[in-house]
Amino acid sequence: MAGTSEPVPGRPARVRGPAQDVAGLGVGRALGFVAPALLLIGAFLVFPAVWTIYIGITNYRLTGVEAVSPSIIGLENYTKALNDALFHNALWLTLLFVLGSAIIGQNILGFALAWTMRKARPAVRRTVEGLVLLAWILPSTVVAYLWIAFFDRDTGTLNSILGQQGTAWLIEYPMVCLVLFNTWRGTAFSMMLYSSALQAVPPSQLESARMVGASGWQTLRDVVFPHIRGHVLTNTLLISLWTANDFSPFLLTKGGPNHESETVPVYIYNVALQGGELGYSSAISFLLLIANLLVALLYLRLLRRRS
């Protein structure tokens, strides 16, 4: 900073201060540089979000009179959502889904894989990582088909393995199936993130811990965890947001049977397209957006407190 305190020669008029304009572009050119990005963000992020807010205060529908001439109904959609038992159901199921499959499932399985694979032979490690990654990169429709085949009542793989017939897993235990599915599906990210995070743990400290006779759990808690706490928070934030907004449950159960696995994104889809209530579904989408922001703020606060 001290070295660049003099104005850049040749453009004294445009440079307001060295700290603000290290590249010496000036405000106009700097704006020129970011304008394309801002335009894209404006067109594809800000505008749809604002549009959603707008539709959310109307009674716009997919068909019928309200499709041609919707009217502004203010906050009616929001008050309706607050009293909508199915929306409460969807929120509760989303919470279960995030807690079970992301915060517990993917986090723990991802860390466990990263921790055990650390010392494994490279061949074993690559094979395991490859398989876990495969679950992550396959297209959702393909994966959904495989899992439906796995859970199917009549000729499903799971029933064949268990040597029994007639348990319709996706009907009788829809949420358990979805949690298992999503844990399987998304663990790769946590595994990779923790693998690289674990490399930041100084081997000398691990060595010392072993020398003083720390148990495996003590080592994890007192040596490893303090080093990767930031990563744990980041990872948990990302995967819980992804999971809360994940639509693939629809591919497995369509939210059924009878709303028993209808997480918020699936509920929004069903309300918007099955029920045709575009206005109401936009209002719920906006509520989901706010919930996302709140979760993100909470995590950011935790992160800041740590540092």
**54 is an interface residue for other proteins by CB under 8 A:** yes
Amino acid at 130: G
**65 is an interface residue for other proteins by CB under 8 A:** yes
If the CB atoms of residues 229 and 254 are measured against other proteins, the closer one turns out to be 254
Binding segment for other proteins among 3-11, 91-99, 164-172, 236-244 (CB under 8 A)? 164-172
If the CB atoms of residues 125 and 254 are measured against other proteins, the closer one turns out to be 254
Query: CB of residue 191 vs other proteins: minimum separation in angstroms?
Result: 31
Identified binder of other proteins from the candidate list 35, 67, 108, 134, rule CB under 8 A: 67
**62 is an interface residue for other proteins by CB under 8 A:** yes
Q: Which two tokens stand for residue 66?
A: 């309200």
Identified binder of other proteins from the candidate list 20, 63, 215, 307, rule CB under 8 A: 63
Phi, psi of 259 (to 5 degrees): 70, 10
Sign of the CA dihedral 192, 187, 240, 305? Answer: negative
Query: CB of residue 25 vs other proteins: minimum separation in angstroms?
Result: 25
Binding segment for other proteins among 60-68, 91-99, 184-192, 206-214 (CB under 8 A)? 60-68
Q: How far apart are CA 187 and CA 209, in angstroms?
A: 29
If the CB atoms of residues 54 and 115 are measured against other proteins, the closer one turns out to be 54
If the CB atoms of residues 17 and 64 are measured against other proteins, the closer one turns out to be 64
Of 282, 185, 194, 238, which Cα lies nearest the Cα of 273?
282
Residue pair 36/276 in contact by the 8 Å Cβ criterion: no
**60 is an interface residue for other proteins by CB under 8 A:** yes
**178 is an interface residue for other proteins by CB under 8 A:** no
Q: How far apart are CA 261 and CA 267, in angstroms?
A: 9
Q: Which DSSP category does 63 fall into?
A: S
Phi, psi of 263 (to 5 degrees): -75, 170
Identified binder of other proteins from the candidate list 26, 173, 276, 296, rule CB under 8 A: 276
Identified binder of other proteins from the candidate list 273, 290, 294, 298, rule CB under 8 A: 273
Binding segment for other proteins among 6-14, 111-119, 130-138, 256-264 (CB under 8 A)? 256-264
Identified binder of other proteins from the candidate list 274, 290, 294, 298, rule CB under 8 A: 274
Binding segment for other proteins among 18-26, 122-130, 163-171, 203-211 (CB under 8 A)? 163-171
Identified binder of other proteins from the candidate list 27, 35, 39, 50, rule CB under 8 A: 50
Q: How far is CA 37 from CA 10, 23, 31, 50, 51, in A?
A: 28, 19, 10, 18, 20
Where is 287: in which H helix or E strand?
helix 278-306
Phi, psi of 72 (to 5 degrees): -75, 125
Q: How far apart are CA 289 and CA 167, in angstroms?
A: 37
Q: How far apart are CA 188 and CA 178, in angstroms?
A: 17
